């Protein structure tokens, strides 16, 4: 047994759980799936793998989130005009309270770390 939660083959792992249709759709019907690596007390922090199919939706990041994209492509557009294009190898830190939209162009996969800190803390 190990004290370090981990998943082998995170960039190609196939035993993901269907998390359903992405809420707040603008165009398309993106579906999400993933696998949790760790959830702390009260579900904080949360660490896992997330895969999402093409589509576009509104999004609001509730807590600081770090994402490392390993497949696919997407564009994140913040309400303040910032544009972030992601492709394999891109790493992004979204601060708590980041608001905008995401458009997935090609099914994307990332590893993520959703921290304890919420907007305003």
Residue 9 resides in a domain: no
Range of the domain at 33: 19-116
Full-model pTM: 0.88
Q: What is the CATH number of the domain that holds 41?
A: 2.60.120.10
pLDDT tens track for 35-91: 999 888 887 888 999 999 999 999 999 899 999 999 999 999 999 999 999 999 999
CA distance linking residue 28 with residue 46, whole number of Å: 27
Does residue 5 belong to any structural domain of this protein? no
Measured between alpha carbons, how far is 99 from 82 in angstroms, rounded to an integer? Answer: 10
Residue 46 lies in a domain: yes
Count structural domains, the chain: 1
Q: Decide if pLDDT at 100 tops 60.
A: yes
Q: What is the pLDDT of residue 116?
A: 79
Distance between CA 13 and CA 37 in Å, rounded?
Answer: 12
């Amino acid at each position: 047994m190990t004290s370090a939660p981990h998943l082998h083959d995170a960039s190609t792992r196939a035993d993901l759980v269907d998390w359903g249709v992405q809420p707040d759709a603008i165009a398309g019907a993106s579906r999400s799936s993933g696998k949790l690596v760790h959830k702390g007390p009260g579900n904080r922090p949360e660490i896992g793998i997330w895969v999402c199919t093409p589509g576009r939706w509104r999004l609001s990041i509730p807590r600081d989130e770090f994402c490392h994209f390993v497949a696919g492509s997407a564009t994140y557009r913040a309400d303040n005009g910032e544009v972030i294009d992601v492709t394999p190898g891109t790493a992004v830190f979204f601060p708590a309270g980041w608001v905008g939209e995401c458009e997935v162009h090609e099914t994307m996969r990332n590893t993520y770390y959703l921290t304890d800190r919420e907007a305003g803390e």
